[in-house]
Amino acid sequence: MIRVNTLKISPEEVKERLEKKGVILEETFLDYAFKVKKSPFSIGATPEYLFGYYYLQSLSSMIPPIILNPKKRDFALDMCSAPGGKTTHMAQIMENQGVIVAVEISRERIKALKSNINRLGVLNTIVINADMREYKNYLLENNIFFDKILLDAPCSGNFIKDKNRNVSKKDILYCSIRQKELLNIGLDLLKKGGYLVYSTCSMEKEENEDVISYILNKREDIKLIKLKPKFKGINIKEGYIRGTLRVFPPDEPFFIAKIKKLF
């Protein structure tokens, strides 16, 4: 699947350029995303790719930034950002305006994040190599709060992404504890009236609905925003909690929930 980077080029122009070279593209519910049906060459090795005209990612992974819907004037935080698929998508939705603070713990993965930000011509993003569990102290001490936050949490993965996936119950519970901690931090950093989108590419209830139930029980200052599975051409349904969403195979599994900070 390709997401056309509308910061640099129109979807029509990318379509025309690739189709001239024999690539067969299929439309999706997003006018700037196309399914690659057939390509005579690797779609990640074209001049158009290197020019930053498009990003390769699953259609499911485009849904969290769409649901977060950051605006041009927003001050946004991407808590777990590398390699930057969703950061660069947020920048595209914001038309390169406002500000995104993109945090990533891994020094190694920061390289890919920076390279994607540069390749796609993203100009509104500050990259921070830090652990959100520590960086939050700096933000809170300086009264820095955000309008929109994306928490695309580290998770145990899924079998579509990783054919050799072999995770134990213990691994899943470890992820779940970390996800709850990160979600609580994200909500502390939201402005009153701000929105946070929580997503994972895991199918495990412990990493998804259980994390949302935990936080709704723990905090009184938030409410779950009810989402509808309105996206065409993708296997998306309501999650086990009303108003949350789940994408199922054959699409890349994803879980998505949106929370509003009330006060």
Ligand X SMILES: C[S@@+](CC[C@H](N)C(=O)[O-])C[C@H]1O[C@@H](n2cnc3c(N)ncnc32)[C@H](O)[C@@H]1O
Minimum distance from residue 154 beta carbon to ligand X (Å): 4
Among 52, 85, 186, 194, binds ligand X (CB under 6 A): 85
Q: Which helix (H) or strand (E) holds 28?
A: none
Q: Is 229 in the site for ligand X (CB under 6 A)?
A: no
Q: How far is CA 114 from the centre of its chain?
A: 16
Among 21, 133, 165, 237, binds ligand X (CB under 6 A): 133
Write the DSSP assignment of 115-169 as a string of letters.
HHHHHTT--SEEEEES-HHHHHHHHHHTT--EEEEEEE------TTT-TT----H
Q: How many residues bind ligand X (CB under 6 A)?
A: 18
Q: Is 154 in the site for ligand X (CB under 6 A)?
A: yes
Radius of gyration of the chain (CA): 18
Backbone φ and ψ of 7, nearest 5°: -70, -25
Among 105, 227, 247, 259, binds ligand X (CB under 6 A): 105
Q: Is 152 in the site for ligand X (CB under 6 A)?
A: yes
* 173: three-class secondary structure by DSSP: helix
| Whole-angstrom distance, CA of residue 227 vs CA of residue 238 | 8
| Whole-angstrom distance, CA of residue 79 vs CA of residue 138 | 14
**Closest by alpha carbon to 1, among 41, 32, 45, 46?**
32
Of 86 and 119, the one with the shorter C-beta distance to ligand X is: 86
In this chain, which stretch among 9-17, 18-26, 104-112, 238-246 interacts with ligand X, using CB under 6 A? 104-112
Among 8, 15, 109, 219, binds ligand X (CB under 6 A): 109
Among 131, 162, 171, 221, binds ligand X (CB under 6 A): 131
Q: Is 86 in the site for ligand X (CB under 6 A)?
A: yes
Active site residue 201: yes
Q: Is 183 in the site for ligand X (CB under 6 A)?
A: no
Question: Is 91 annotated as belonging to a binding site?
Answer: no
In this chain, which stretch among 20-28, 41-49, 130-138, 159-167 interacts with ligand X, using CB under 6 A? 130-138
Q: List alpha helices for the chain, DSSP H.
A: 11-20, 47-50, 63-68, 85-93, 107-119, 132-141, 169-188, 209-218
Chain residue whose CB lies nearest ligand X: 80
| Whole-angstrom distance, CA of residue 256 vs CA of residue 243 | 9
Contact residues toward ligand X (CB under 6 A) are 61, 80-86, 103-106, 109, 131-133, 152, 154
Annotated binding-site members for S-adenosyl-L-methionine: 80-86, 104, 131, 152
Active site residues: 201
